[in-house]
Amino acid sequence: MKATAKIALDAASMREVTYADARAVYTKARALTTKNGLVSHASESESLGIAVRVIVDGAWGFAATAELDSAAIRTTAHRAIEIAKASARVKKENVRLASEPPAVAEWTSPYDVDPFSTSVENNLELLLQVDAEIRSNAGVTLAETGMNFQREESWFLSSEGADIHQTKFTTGAGYTAHAFAGSEIQKRSYPNSFGGQWQNCGYELLDEMKLVENARRIGDEAVALHHADQCPEGPRTIILDGSQLGLQIHESIGHPIELDRVLGMEANFAGTSFLTLEKLSKLRYGSELVNVVADARQEHGPGLGTFAYDDEGVAAQSTPIISKGRFSGYLSSRETAHTIGATRSGGTSRAEGWNRLPMIRMTNVSILPGDQPLTLEQLIASTDDGIYMETNKSWSIDDKRYNFQFGCEIAWEIKHGKRTRMLKNPSYSGITTEFWNSMDAICSRDEWVLWGTPNCGKGQPQQVVGTGHGASPARFRNVKVGTAYKGS
């Protein structure tokens, strides 16, 4: 495919073209699901194609094709040039690319076991074993399990001299127990809702998650929720588990720091942003304990936002987003870096596949753990009166990412430092900056998990990519609780 990309780049290297790149992508995916002891879906797919980007007369042109003969590739490159010329007629200003040293690199995400070396039969056997454990409680109405693997290989060449070959393996799995009783549905998910846990690694992730060992507990909790008390309403101290805090980061920090949203270049799916440019380095985003980074480097962990180079050939970086509560950085691209006075892109441009334009996407937007040793149980023990909430159930946030409401699957009341009664339908709401300023404790590294969100949508036509969010359980004071399910 490198030779194919070279044909595209050569075809795009005409006198009027001031910049060009070619990106070839091969993707292989396996998706398996079960419902109540039966296989509900099993598929394996492959995709291969090439995309060309050019700048002509200060404007972008883009074209892509799955036809990989030389003539089709040259036609695609010429189409990208024609589109750029047409775009130049309506441009507001010339595209300005931040400089980037052209990299020549080869990278593969670390893994122990290639997930595609495992058989579909063995994969389904594991899922059906989990399914049976969930349904060992007769009160479970529906058990759903899922497993997903992906292998993505890309070749990136640019007119500046970049030559980058990357291979990335992704593994994900999880399950949900649903219990229907009367007019109410309760659910419990493991190890997270909306697909479980996903990371850039191999099949070894499934052993680490202990899927079978936790299945019976999850089924029991779904049934027990029907007999639990309704979560109380009013201002309360809350503790969020790491997976829920990861989604809170995604919605109230990750999306508003996307610089294209801030600049009004993008508003699909998540709206724009309250983080206008004058707030950079000035806004008190959270308490002194809130330290958030956007880190695509391998040393941050096997997140869905981990890579060696983004889809513009920019090396992975760690960008401080919130430093001791102060707003300190955006997610940027080569095109947008100059708008915040940066001389280099933050390396966050990614595309869903070969037929999509790279755009600013979250990498691993993570809150750093506390410096002092603190476990979840110690955090609960130090809380006199509060509510501990686990696992997202629903979310809503306005188109500036400022006012939000989240529901969780399960909660426990905390009295005098101990978990007491189980609570159903817990929810909380707030204003982004007020919420993060109310954080007064966060657990240490031993409790920190890099969660994967595989389904972040953005753009038109839509692109779905994976993001990572590292988090430890944390405590927040005086939060409005109980509004989402009032009167349930």
Residue 51 near residue 1, CB atoms below 8 Å: no
Q: Tell the burial category of 452 from Cβ atoms under 10 Å away from its Cβ (0-12, 13-18, 19+).
A: buried
Closest Cα to residue 330, out of 300, 292, 303, 286? 292
How many of the other CB atoms lie within 10 Å of CB of 376?
A: 17
Question: Tokens 């409005």 label which residue?
Answer: 480
Stated as kind and residue range, the H or E segment containing 188 is strand 184-190
- Pairing status of strand 292-295 against strand 365-367: antiparallel
pLDDT recorded at residue 488: 45
The SS3 of residue 206 is helix
pLDDT recorded at residue 269: 82
Q: How far is CA 58 from CA 51, 61, 77, 165, 221, in A?
A: 19, 10, 17, 28, 59
**Which parts of the chain sit beneath pLDDT 50?**
488
The SS3 of residue 223 is helix
Residue 349 near residue 312, CB atoms below 8 Å: yes
pLDDT recorded at residue 485: 66
Q: How far is CA 49 from CA 7, 66, 462, in A?
A: 13, 4, 18
Q: What is the pTM of this model?
A: 0.95
Beta-bridge mates of residue 389? 240, 411
Residue 178 near residue 187, CB atoms below 8 Å: yes
For the stretch 434-451, pLDDT in tens is 999 999 999 999 999 999
Question: Domains in the chain, please, with CATH?
Answer: 2-227 (3.30.2290.10), 230-481 (no CATH)
pLDDT recorded at residue 14: 85
Residue 151 near residue 143, CB atoms below 8 Å: no
Q: How far is CA 64 from CA 52, 81, 347, 351, 407, in A?
A: 6, 12, 22, 12, 41
pLDDT recorded at residue 270: 81
| Structure tokens belonging to residue 403 | 């006012």
Q: Tell the burial category of 442 from Cβ atoms under 10 Å away from its Cβ (0-12, 13-18, 19+).
A: buried
d(CA 486, CA 488) in angstroms, rounded, equals 6
